[in-house]
Amino acid sequence: MKLAVHFGAGNIGRGFVAPTLQANDYRVIFVDVNTDLVKQINEEGRYTVTSLSIEGATQEVVQDVEAINLDDSEYLNETLLNADIVTTSVGPKFVQGIYERIALLDNQKEQIFIAFENMYKASSNASSNIKSLNTKLKIIDAVVDKIVPPQPPTSLNVIVETYGSIILDVSTGLQPLRKSEIISYKNYENEFYKKLWLLNGLHLQLAYYGLANGHTFIHEVIASKDGREFAKASVNSLAVAYSLLSQSNENLDEFTNTIIDRFALPEIKDEVARIARNPEIKFSKDERFEYPLRLLISHDKNIDTFRTILDIITSGNYLKVEGFSNFKEDVLEKGKSNIYNDFWELENYSKSYIERLGS
């Protein structure tokens, strides 16, 4: 059996990556810094993944897994030398260190490295400044999509949504995982922005719409008549922006309807304040709000939901949202023209932005 070493034994690692790897005939060994978690995985060796959808819940038992502590260098290096695939779900800032650890091993085994992270080209970026000693080590960029609600802290069992998607960069020609309902091989650039805009961008707009209308959870926004109408209008505008970017005639109706159905699940307990956190990053230039808005304005398309959210963030004060106070003081209080000209650095667009979004 092929060997997969996965860095990160958290909820995504246990609840999505490991079952997917096992379904592709890989033996899975986790690597984690949490000593108690590593011990628990090795003692129990199995756990249950509960998947939620609007149709109900299903359960899957994941077994025959083990774990290594990150500090156990000798055993970890020995295991890595034998790995066929090495994957991560540890957070973008740790990926380069993991790749370096693999790349600098004295090894000539054919291996593939995939960072399952919510970051643009996480695998490529991690490897860009490191020359691998293993000339047979290959990398693949991936777009990963799975919602995981808050979990009990002491159990290995994981609750996830039923929907899940892993899209691997088709341009590499490598196919370490079989095509399935979860696994596909497509144009990485298009798929990254499709997810960033239509999923993460909608998530952000729903979060601030929810904050402005007194909702605690995302599903409460969609449960309301006005909120569902806003969600549909928002994702439709984002879909238009994506079509302009990708220059494709892809029918996105099923994709957008599925996103709204996913966000509507009460069991996910998606807190609007959590989704709204770090606004200075999420509203920054080239991100999930500014970039699609720029395309829509330049092509004279509908931007009603963007205008609504911009009015919400410039007029409100959401103290419970991590990072909002600093964002308001540094950017928002200086007015919309400051957002266009200085924060987004769009001097050439200032007139059209003021006409359509206000000053």
How many structural domains are present in the chain? 2
Q: How confident is the model at residue 150 (pLDDT cuts 50, 70, 90)?
A: confident
Two tokens, residue 32: 């984690």
State the CATH number of the domain containing residue 28: 3.40.50.720
Query: From start to end of the chain, where are the E strands?
Result: 2-7, 26-32, 46-53, 56-63, 66-69, 85-88, 111-115, 137-140, 142-145, 158-161, 165-169, 183-186
Instruction: Give φ, ψ of 155 to 5 degrees.
Output: -100, 145
Mean residue pLDDT across the chain: 96
Final residue of a structural domain among 126, 152, 186? 186
Same domain as 273, residue 238:
yes
User: What does DSSP assign to residue 271?
Assistant: B
- Give the mean model confidence (pLDDT) for residues 191-199: 98
Pick from 116, 122, 123, 174: nearest CA to 145: 116
Q: What is the pLDDT of residues 304-353, one digit of tens each?
A: 999 999 999 999 999 999 999 999 999 999 999 999 999 999 877 678 89
CB 272 within 8 A of CB 214: no
pLDDT of residue 197: 98
Q: What is the CATH number of the domain that holds 272?
A: 1.10.1040.10
Question: How far, in Å, CA of 76 to CA of 125, rounded?
Answer: 23
Question: What order do you get walking across the sheet with 183-186 strand by strand?
Answer: 142-145, 165-169, 183-186
Residues 140 and 210 in one domain: no
Looking at residue 322, its pLDDT comes to 98
Which stretches within 134-289 are classed as H helix?
188-194, 202-212, 218-223, 225-246, 253-263, 272-275, 279-282
pLDDT band (50, 70, 90) for residue 131: very high
Residue 142: domain span: 2-186
The whole-number pLDDT of residue 350 equals 76
From residue 308, give the alpha-carbon distance in Å to each of 208, 210, 299, 305: 10, 12, 19, 5
Classify the phi-psi angles of 203: left when phi > 0, otherwise alpha if psi is within -120 to 50, otherwise beta.
alpha
Query: pLDDT (tens digit, 9 = 90+) per residue, 11-21?
Result: 999 999 999 99
Same domain, yes or no: 213 and 332: yes
CB 231 within 8 A of CB 260: yes
**Residue 11 and residue 159 in one domain:** yes
pLDDT band at residue 152 under the 50/70/90 scheme: confident
| Same-domain check for residues 143 and 24 | yes
- pTM for the model stands at 0.94
Per-residue pLDDT at 126: 95
Q: For the chain, give the percent of residues with pLDDT over 90.
A: 93
Residues 172 and 305 in one domain: no
Q: Are residues 174 and 217 in the same domain?
A: no
The model's pLDDT over 105-117, given as tens digits with 9 standing for 90+, comes to 999 999 999 999 9
Give the domain-ending residue among 137, 160, 186.
186
268 with 259: CB under 8 angstroms?
A: no
Distance of CA 26 to the CA centre of its chain: 24
pLDDT at 91 (0 to 100):
94
- Residues 159, 205, single domain; the answer is no
Q: Single out the residue in 186, 215, 250 at which a domain terminates.
A: 186
Residue 203 vs residues 53, 263, 264, 273: alpha-carbon distances, Å: 18, 8, 11, 11
Rounded Cα gap, residues 238 and 196, in angstroms: 10
pLDDT at 324: 98
Per the listing, tokens 């978690």 go with 37
